[in-house]
Structures are given as structure tokens and as C-alpha cells.
Chains A and B, each alone.
Chain A
Amino acid sequence: MSLADIQDRSLDDATAFGGQGDVGDYLALLKPRVMSLVIFTALVGLLIAPGSIHPVLGAVAILCIAVGAGASGALNMWYDADIDAVMSRTVKRPIPAGKVTREEALAFGLTLSAFSVVVLGLAVNWLAAGLLAFTIFFYAVVYTMWLKRSTPQNIVIGGAAGAFPPMIGWAAVTGTVTLESTVLFLIIFMWTPPHFWALALFKRGDYEAARIPMLPVVAGEDATRTQILVYSVLLAPIGVAPALLGFASAGYGVAAAVLGAAFVWYALRVYTVREGEPARKAAVRLFTFSLVYLFLVFALLLGDSLFGRLVAGGWL
């Protein structure tokens, strides 16, 4: 294409050269809703870890984890622009909507990735920074580029990326990876499959249209219901593990057991109600409750830890 050709192009064609997005479009590339969950779980990991961190450095750690998570979201949207364009849930994202070009999203994601990892390493510690770098790599490369389009186990393995933030928060304070932070990782890791498979049950058409091998598309809805139940049964005791391992109180253990039992009950509803609108509603309810479950488990861990510190410090 000659320069004259470029100069002859109409303004509408300028879209192809980028520069169309506003600030809101770039913020949307960061997947703010996912980021809010990452911030919350990372904050809990940071606050319940033994030891202390200067409040400013703690805030920097959370900022870096949030930006790193957002960066991996932008890289995901860069790579998945083709399938985002055919799924109702994602068609309004900035790239399929024509607001941001793929190249702009890639540059944005890579820049934020580099900044978040380097700043976390320089300001806090390099173990936390290494874990953040691995998380971004795992989500953008292992999950998005490799697993998502090739195996129905995509979100089982890829779920690890979403499970790392509390471990990074913990590592920011302690400089270590311990059994306790691994349990925090496992709670989210085991939570992810039933959460996303419940979504896939009532958004199955989307995944079929995009040719993503989600479990309901590949193995069928019955097999998905069984898998949801299995992972829910495994998740319930892991949610209680912080109390069993002694880094949360018995009160937390009881609350987590009740929440875990409720999770299994919702999964049982999905397992038993298999026809028509009631089946769809059961999947929606499990999906909604799974969000409540994760929020409450981490909120309880945080409340439990803060209460314990107040008591230990003689404040209560």
C-alpha cells in the first residue's frame, strides 16, 4: 500500500490504524470485574499472612497484582478477539466492538505486565514478582493460547491463574510459599471448575458457536453435572482446611462447612434437575452462589484473622 493510498483513505477507514479507543475502552481491557475478585483475594492473602509489611508497600503489592491481572486480561482479549466476536457474553468487548485494535491491546497488556512485575520486585520482593510473572504467563500463554481451544480441561488447569493472587499477597509479606498459602490457592483452584461449568451449562450455545471445547460441548451436559458435583464435594473440605490446619479459628471452620454444604446442595440441584427451564435456573443459581461462596470464605478468613490479632494484641 502506497502512502498516497493511505492518505486517500476516508476517516472511517482510520479505524484500521487504531487510535479510536477512549480511556474507558482501555479500562475495559483490564477486565475490571475479574480484577475486583483478584484484588480482594490477594488482599486477604496479604492481610492474614503472618508478619507485617509497611502499609505503603502492601498497597503497592496489591496495586501491582491488580495491574498484572488486568494486563493478562488485555493479553487474553488480544489473542481471543476472534472468538470474543461470536460470543454474546463478549461481543461488546473493545476489540470486537472496533474501539481498540489487537495491536493496541497487545502493547497495552505487555507494557502493564512488565511494569507490574518489575515494580513489585523492586518495591516488595522478587518471589512475589516471580509468582505474578508466572501467573500472567500462565493465563495468557498456557490457558488462553494453548488450553482454552484444545481441551475440555481448559478451565481446570487454567484456573490456577486465578488461584495465585492470594499466594502472591502472602508471599509479599512473608517472602515464602507455605502450606497455608497453598490452601488459599487450592480453595480457588477447586472452586473454578464448578463455577465456570455452571456458566457453560447455561451459555453452552455461545461456546459451541465459538468452537471452544468446554465440557458441556465436548462431553455433554450429564458428564458436566457429574464433574460439577465431584469438584463441589472436593471443594467443601478444602474450604474448611484453614481451621483444620490451625491458621483460622473453629468458628471459621463451622461457617466454611455450612457454606461448603450449601455449595454441594446447589451442585446436587444441578445434578438432579436436568430438563428445561428448571435445569437452566439451577445452573444459574449455582453460578451465582459460587461467587457468594468465594467472597464469604475469604471475607471470613480476613475477619477471623483480624479478630485474632485484635484479641492477641489486647484490644478485645
Chain B
Amino acid sequence: MSDDGIRPTEEQKRRQRGRSVAIGLALAGLVLLFYVITLVKMGPGVFDRSL
């Protein structure tokens, strides 16, 4: 199979890495945000439920 596709330059790879890191950080931030919001809204009650 030929690998004659569009090959990104080093600069393009660098930008792609930057975007990937930013998306990763944004997702991690959202996880943290929802965790903190849950604690704030439910307080200790977050553990107070039947299993």
C-alpha cells in the first residue's frame, strides 16, 4: 500500500499536538468542574443514599 497521502509538515504536527493537548486539558477541566459542582450542590449528601 502506498503512503502517498497528505503528509503533515513538522509545523502542522506541532499545531496538531497543541490542539490535542488543549482538548485534553479542556476535558480534564470539565471532569474536575462537574466533580466540584456535584460536591457543592449536594454537599455531604452526595454519600447519603441507599446502596
Contact = CB atoms under 8 A, between A and B. Distances in A.
B19 A26 contact: yes
Majority DSSP secondary structure for residues of A touching B: helix
Looking at B6, B18, B40, the one whose CB has the most chain A CB atoms below 10 A away is: B6
Contact of A123 (B15, B18, B41): B41
A7 B37 contact: no
B15 A21 contact: yes
A11 B11 CA distance: 12
A26 B30 CA distance: 18
B36 to A, nearest CB: 6
A115 B23 CA distance: 14
A312 interface: no
A14 B8 CA distance: 9
A20 interface: yes
B50 interface: no
Contact of B4 (A7, A19, A21): A7
Interface string B13-45: 011101101100000001001001100110000
Contact of B40 (A7, A14, A54): A54
B15 A22 contact: yes
A117 B4 CA distance: 44
A11 B30 CA distance: 35
Interface residues of B, number: 20
Looking at B14, B16, B21, B33, the one whose CB has the most chain A CB atoms below 10 A away is: B33
Contacts of B5: 7
Contacts of A115: 30
A121 to B, nearest CB: 12
Interface residues of A, number: 21
Interface string A58-81: 001000000000000000000000
Contacts of A119: 33
Given A7-B4, A7-B6, A11-B6, A20 B37 contact: no
A23 B22 contact: yes
A56 B36 contact: yes
Nearest to B21: A23
Interface in A8-32: 8-9, 11, 14, 17, 19-23, 26
Given A21-B19, A23-B22, A26-B19, A56 B37 contact: yes
A56 B35 CA distance: 12
B14 to A, nearest CB: 8
Contacts of B4: 7-8
A14 B6 contact: yes
B47 to A, nearest CB: 19
B40 A57 contact: yes
Interface of A: 6-9, 11, 14, 17, 19-23, 26, 54, 56-57, 60, 115, 119, 122-123
Given A21-B15, A22-B18, A26-B22, 16 more contacts: A6-B6, A7-B5, A9-B6, A11-B6, A11-B8, A14-B8, A19-B8, A19-B15, A21-B19, A22-B14, A23-B18, A23-B19, A54-B40, A57-B37, A122-B37, A123-B41
In the complex, the 8 A-B pairs of residues with the closest C-beta atoms, listed nearest first: A22-B15, A23-B22, A56-B40, A123-B37, A23-B18, A14-B6, A22-B18, A7-B5
